Amino acid sequence: MARQHEWLSALAAALLFAAWVAVARGPTVPTVWQGSTLVVVDAGHGGVDPGALTADGREEKQINLAVAHGVAAALAARGVAVRLTRSRDAAITGGASTPELEARAQYANHLGATLLVSIHSNTEPTGTVVGPIVYYRAGSILAQLLANDLEAELAAATGDVHRPRPAHHLLLMKANMPAVTVELGFLSTPQDLRRLTSRAWQARLARALATGVLRYLHRQGHRP
């Protein structure tokens, strides 16, 4: 009797889980999004803060901004409301990095953003590592799911695979919504530097990120 009871409990749990999966999946991705979904895209650095500098003097902030514009345009084309923390080469506060990062998080918080994607470009000392890496707010399951969707699209677009990593970046920790930092690639690696300074590659990364955001929104049921 006890065994039958256990079996029925397991069956009930399985049916509940199947129902939850069906609801969580929802219908196919619509072509036009409406409603309260709002994505904030942050182009890292800006103004007096150039971010990382390349060997030939190029600035990280410009690459970040170009890709952020591409992501915003691709999402807007799908009907998603998007705001950029900066749309040109300027900082919000014009000052030091801690208040600047706090201001960017507050901007997304005040807007009640659905999610926040911060875009940066990486460096490392060996000059050999390539490919994008997505960092998600440590301890946030939703941010991790968002990171997984972004990483899947970036890996498909670039052929470079890096598992998403938890982080305690100030911007991520101050944001009230699922938040990730995308490092587009390594400015310190010649192969990545060539790719990251190419408009075609920037557009490719932007499309991948927009597709990943759409996939996440769809999975989480953010639609009209």
Task: Give the footprint of Zn ion on this chain (CB under 5 A).
Answer: 44, 51, 120
Q: Which is nearer to Zn ion, 44 or 70 (CB)?
A: 44
Shortest reach from residue 184's CB to Zn ion, in Å? 10
Shortest reach from residue 157's CB to Zn ion, in Å? 20
Write down the residue that tokens 């968002």 correspond to: 146
Select the residue whose beta carbon is closest to Zn ion and give its number: 120
Shortest reach from residue 123's CB to Zn ion, in Å? 9
Q: Which is nearer to Zn ion, 51 or 131 (CB)?
A: 51
Shortest reach from residue 49's CB to Zn ion, in Å? 9
Q: Are 193 and 128 in contact (CB under 8 A)?
A: no
| Separation between Cα atoms, residue 59 and residue 49, nearest integer Å | 9
Q: How many CA atoms lie within 13 A of 1 on its CB side?
A: 0
Q: Are 52 and 121 in contact (CB under 8 A)?
A: yes
Q: Which is nearer to Zn ion, 45 or 215 (CB)?
A: 45
Q: Which is nearer to Zn ion, 171 or 214 (CB)?
A: 171
Shortest reach from residue 117's CB to Zn ion, in Å? 14
| Separation between Cα atoms, residue 207 and residue 13, nearest integer Å | 39
Q: Which is nearer to Zn ion, 51 or 132 (CB)?
A: 51
| Separation between Cα atoms, residue 48 and residue 67, nearest integer Å | 19
Residue 154, amino acid: L
